[in-house]
Amino acid sequence: MAVIAGNWKMHHGPAAAVGFLSDFEIGSLPSAHELIVFPPTASLHAVASSDRRDARLQVGVQNIYWEAAGAFTGETSAPMAADAGASFALVGHSERRHVFGETDEDTRRKVEAAVRANLVPVLCVGETLDERRAGRVEQVILRQLDAALGGLRAAKRFLVAYEPVWAIGTGETATLADAASAHGSLRGRLAEAMGVASSATVPILYGGSVKPANAAELMSAADVDGVLVGGASLDPASFREIVDAAG
C-alpha cells in the first residue's frame, strides 16, 4: 500500500476545491492506497465536510501554529484545523522553511502541537541545491529529522516526506539512487530512535516534481512508500493517474 498525497499549496479556493472532489471520481479507484489532500486553510472545511468527498480521501492542513488559541493574527491552530476536518498536518514544508523562515525549533513545536490535537504530522525535510553540491544531504535531512524526533515519537502515527528543495516546482526530480539514499538515511535514523520494526511502519514519501510520467518509477525506489505531489495534484485527472501509477 502506498500513500499518495496532494499538497495544493495556495491553489483551489472553496468552490474550486469542491469541484476537484466532483471530478476526481474516487469511487472507481483501487482502495488499497491511502489518499490525502492538503487544501489551503480557507478551503479545508469545504473539502472535509463536502458530501462529494469519498471517505477514502483524507484531508490535512498545510501549516499550523503551535499555540491553541490567542492573539496570533492570521494563524491557524492545530485544534482548529482538526475541528475544520483535518486529520493530517504538514510540518516544515520547504516553502515554510525557505519562504517564511521557519526554523527547526518551529517545526518541533508544530509537530508537538499537531500530536496534542491528534493530527498525524507529516514532517517534510530536504536539502537545497547548495547543500547537495556541498555533499551535505544526509547531514541536513537528519538534522531536520532529529529536531522533530522527540515530538514525532510521541505520536501514535507520523509520516516523513523527503522533498529536495531543488526538485520542488522545477521539473527536476531526484534520481532513483538519490531518493533511495536519502530515504535509506531517514529510515536508518528512525530505526536507531524507535527500533527497526517500528521504523518500518513509518511511511516515507518522496516529493518534488512528481508527475504521472515519473510516479511509478519513483515509488519503485527502496524505502519510498508514496509521494507528496504539488503541481500535478491540482488537476483531478493527473492526480488520478498518479494514484493509478502506484499499482
Minimum CB–partner distance for residue 168 and ligand 13P (Å)? 4
**Grid cell digits, residue 155:** 505520536
Stated as kind and residue range, the H or E segment containing 122 is: strand 120-125
Q: Which of 12, 45, 93, 183 is catalytic?
A: 93
Least separation in angstroms between CB 69 and ligand 13P: 27
Q: Does 229 bind ligand 13P (CB under 6 A)?
A: yes
**Contact call for residue 163 and ligand 13P (CB under 6 A):** yes
Q: Which is nearer to ligand 13P, 52 or 131 (CB)?
A: 131
CA atoms within 13 A on the CB side of 143: 11
- According to DSSP, residue 77 is labeled B
Q: Check residue 160 for interaction with ligand 13P (CB under 6 A).
A: no
11 counts as binding ligand 13P under rule CB under 6 A: no
Q: Is 7 in the site for ligand 13P (CB under 6 A)?
A: yes
Catalytic residue of the set 45, 102, 163, 183: 163
Among 223, 230, 238, 240, binds ligand 13P (CB under 6 A): 230
Distance of closest approach, residue 210 Cβ to ligand 13P, in angstroms:
5
- Contact call for residue 208 and ligand 13P (CB under 6 A): yes
Report the amino acid identity of residue 131: E
- CA 216, CA 221: separation in Å to the nearest integer? 9
Which phi-psi region, left, alpha or beta, contains residue 118 (left: φ > 0; alpha: ψ -120 to 50)? left
Instruction: Note if 163 is an active site residue.
Output: yes
Q: To which residue does cell 476537484 refer?
A: 20
Residues 182, 183, 184: CA angle, nearest 5 degrees:
90
For residues 61 to 100, the per-residue mask of contacts with ligand 13P, x marking binding by CB under 6 A and - elsewhere, is --------------------------------x-------
**Cα torsion angle, 197, 210, 4, 47, sign:** positive
Given the C-alpha cell 502541537, which residue does it identify? 113
| Cβ 46 vs Cβ 12: under 8 Å | no
Binding segment for ligand 13P (CB under 6 A), chosen from 41-49, 77-85, 111-119, 208-216, is 208-216
- Cβ atoms of 141 and 188 within 8 Å: the answer is no
Binding site for ligand 13P (CB under 6 A): 7, 93, 163, 168-169, 207-210, 228-232
Catalytic site positions: 93, 163
